[in-house]
Every structure is written in structure tokens, then in C-alpha cells.
Amino acid sequence: MITSVRGESKWTGAATSSLMWKSAWSASATVCSGLGRLVAGILIARLLGPDGAGRVVYLLWLSDTVATFANFGFQTTLTRFSADLRGQGKPDQAALLARWILLRYIALMLAGVGALGSISFFSGDWGALRSVWMVLTVYYCLQGLNLLYQAFLAGRQRFDLIAKVNLASSLLLMAGIAVGTYEFGVAGAIGGYLAGVALPALLSLSLVGAARRNAELEPSLRRRVWIYAFYAWSAAVISAFVWSRMEFFFLKRYWGAHEVAMFSVGVSLAALAQQSLIFFSGCLMPHFSELHGKQDMLTLREQHVRVTRLMALILAPTSFLLAAVAPVLLPLVYGKPFTPAVAPAVVTIAFSVIGFANAGSNVLYAMERTHFIALSGLLGAVLSVTAGLVVIPHWGAIGAAWSRAIVQVLMIALLAWYLMTKLHVPYPIKAILQISASAAFPSLVVYAVLRWQPNPLLIPILLLIGTGLYFVLIQVFRVVPEEDYLALVRGVERHWSAAADGFRSVLTWKRQSA
């Protein structure tokens, strides 16, 4: 229902209020982590240049890829079932599950250490880069514990703690990168990333005492956990070819570290564009899992539509406008040696708009439909590998950018089809197209002006004009219901009153012009 607060309407559903509170803390956590990694990437690019930065990016990607194969989906499983069990009123089983998963996770992680060591030994540069590989192995272990601890906190809905841990970790990361890269080059850069995950890795050991010693998991729960983990792992491994920068492997093989750096800049800036989704990024899956545990499917479907629409509303102008200014902004931030990265960056940033589909993916995980993610990801993996063998050897970074974008769009179309036809979960396709068109027009204007006059001082002015024009077009199309603006106001007013007042002003203007 709608009631009056501060003289205006407000949606009072308990589930919606809960989601907005979680989203606000999740946003704070993602800001801390994202900004820390962005600054770290810029420092490395400036201190090491394209070749050194490309080598760091490739090694970190290699560590993350080994982790994807070795963790058996336990991170996603811990988040999903912890939230579901708490929704069912079984906190003891949730705590026991955390300890049960941690012990098995560590055993798998040690197997991953062996795999990473084998890769380093047979890579051909073990002798020259022995210290680099040793630091990378320690980073791999601590990063794995860090991710599991964050999954544990997300399952408990403790996004406030995630935000505090991420703030401390980001400060350690930036300090470690600045000192380590300057003093020790590539090994020091990876050591800086190691420093950034050390704190949560240490805190993860608290999961050992999270439950009573003599308690046991229910047999039916243990069976469900193994099945879910297997499908989540299969989906993660297969999806790694589509979503996890597999292009780095082919670029390194056919072009070298320099081309890896040219492509990675665009990926980093696309991640910056998707920071606009910080309001939703970490809390959707545990929140949807909690609703699924309560069998509240009506609320789940309604909130999926609203969140998807809001994500598109925020992400479309961010992605398109950032892509429009990238030709001037990128060399200014990363340095002139990175000028060849502009073309692939524009493509990668513009197509980061498809991040709105994250809401639908979280619905599948929450409803234990990981088998579809695995099967659809298999198709995407085949397409990505084909592009890596056919397109990237001839076209390099720009080929990687276009092939990545096309494959991901196809995957999202398949996701929307499955949600609508098999799960009967609505998908706001019309609203997404209208929002995208409203954002594309001012972005093209900004791009044209900067092509005519590539002056960095024009960027903030053009971004303000482009954003204003976007909101005018959104009002013309009447895409966004009033309840969506109210949801944004509720979510941000706890942490950022100025932003809440801004959304409230837009809502007032929308009513007056209606």
C-alpha cells in the first residue's frame, strides 16, 4: 500500500524496505572495493607501463581462473543456503553449514595450489619470475579465503560488515600497490593485491567456531548442498569462458602482454561504469533466496521486475556516457601509451549496459536453477572459444571486445527467454529498450562534441548536459513508475541524503509535469 511520509507517497511493503536497506549497505561495500581496485589499476599502469601492467593483469586472471575451477561452487552455495536456512528459521544449521563448507573449501584450495604451481613450473619463465609466482600463490590462497568469508557475511545479510571490511581492505590494497609496485615491480604489484585480501582471509578462520561441535548437517540438506554446489561450479566454470575475461588467454597467446593491457583497460572502465549498480550488486541473491525460502514467489517476481528496471535506469546513462568520453578520458588517466586501448574500451564500456541482467541471474541461483546457467553457459563457452581462435588472432583487442559483447548479448537473450517461458518471471523488455534509447541519444551528442573538440575540460559540462537530457527523455517516454523512484529514495537516504534529495526532486518534477 501507499502512505504519506514527508508529504509524499511511500511504499510500505516489509520486503521492499528490507531490500532497500540491504542494498544501501551492499552499495557501500562495493564502492570501497571497486574504487580501491580502480586506483590500484591506474597506479600499476602508470608505474609499469602497458607491458608490465599486462603481465600483472594476466597473472591475476590466471589465479582467479584456477580458483574458479578449484572452489567447487562453495562460495555461491554458502551464500544461497545460509540465507535460505535463516529464512526458514534454522540459524544453527546455517552456522554448521559454514564450518562444513570451510573445511572442504580449504582442501580444494590446496589442490588449486598444486595446479597453480604446475602452471608456473611449465610456463617457461619459472627461473626468471620465481618470486612473482611465489607471491601469486600466496595471493591465491588468501583471496580464496577472502571470497568465502564475504560469501558467509552475505548469506547472513551482514552487508554492513562487508562494507567495513572492504574499506579497510581497500586502504591496505592501495598502500600495498603504491609501495610494492614502486619498489619491486610486478612482484610488488601482486604483493599489494595480497595485502588487500589479508584481513578478510584472517577473519574467515572464525567460521571454524561458527557452530556447535557435536551438531551435524541434516542428510537431506547435505545432499541438496552437494547437488547445488556441483551445478553452481559447472555454471561458474563454463561461464568463465563468457564472463570472466577468457579473452586474456588468447590475447596473451597470440599478441603478448601489451595487447592484454590494451583490452584490460576497457574491462576496468566497464567495471567502473557498473559501479553505478552498487545499490544492488551484493544483496540480490541472498535476498531472493530468503524470499524463496519463505515461498513468497509473488514478491520475488515483482521485485525482479522492479530491480531490473532500476538497474537499467541507472546503468544505461552511465555506460553510454562513459563510453562517449572514453576517447579523451582514457589517455588522460592511464597515459598516452594506452591510447590504442580507446577503441576496444568504447565497445566494452558501451556494452556493459547489459549488467541489468544480473537480477535475472540471481533469481536463477535463488531458485536452484543452476543447471540452466551451466547448460546455457556451455553454448556461450563454445562461442567464446571459437571467437578466441578465429577472431582474436586477426583483430587483437578490438576483436576481443566485439566478440565478447556479441556473445554476452546472446546469453542474456537466452536468460530472459528462460525466465519468462519456464519460470513465469516477467521481464521488462519494453522498458529496457526505451531506457537504452533515452540514454543513447545524449551519449552520441557528447561523443560528437568531443570528436570535434577533444578538450578534457568539456567532459564534466557535457556529462551534466547529457544526464539532464536523459532524464527529460525518460519523462517523455514515461518509462519509470513512481514506486521505482521511491525505492531509490528509501535505499540511499540512510547513507547519502543529498542523492536521496535529488531523486525526491526528480519525483516532484515528474508529478508536476504529469
- The domain segmentation of the chain, as residue ranges, is 2-480
Which neighbouring-strand residues pair with 11?
2
pLDDT-derived band at 15 (thresholds 50, 70, 90) equals: very low
Distance of alpha carbon 176 from alpha carbon 169, whole angstroms:
10
- Return the percentage of the chain with pLDDT > 70, whole number: 77
DSSP 8-state assignment for residue 156: T
Question: Cβ(310)–Cβ(486) under 8 Å?
Answer: no
pLDDT at position 82 is: 77
342 contact partners, CB below 8 Å, separation of at least 6: 326, 327, 330, 331
Which is nearest to 250 in space by CA: 73, 403, 38? 403
Higher pLDDT, 501 or 438: 438
3-class secondary structure, 245: coil
What is the C-alpha separation between 399 and 258, in angstroms, rounded? 15
Q: Which whole number is the average pLDDT over 464-476?
A: 89
CA torsion 461→467→472→475, rounded to 10°?
-170
> Comparing 8-22, 239-253, 417-431, 500-514, which segment has the lowest mean pLDDT?
8-22
**pLDDT tens digits, residue range 267-317?**
888 887 777 665 555 556 566 766 766 777 787 788 888 888 888 888 899
Distance set, CA 420 to CA 337, 347, 363 (Å): 46, 29, 12
Q: How many CB atoms lie within 10 A of CB 236?
A: 23
pLDDT at residue 49, rounded to an integer: 83
CA distance 47 to 58: 17
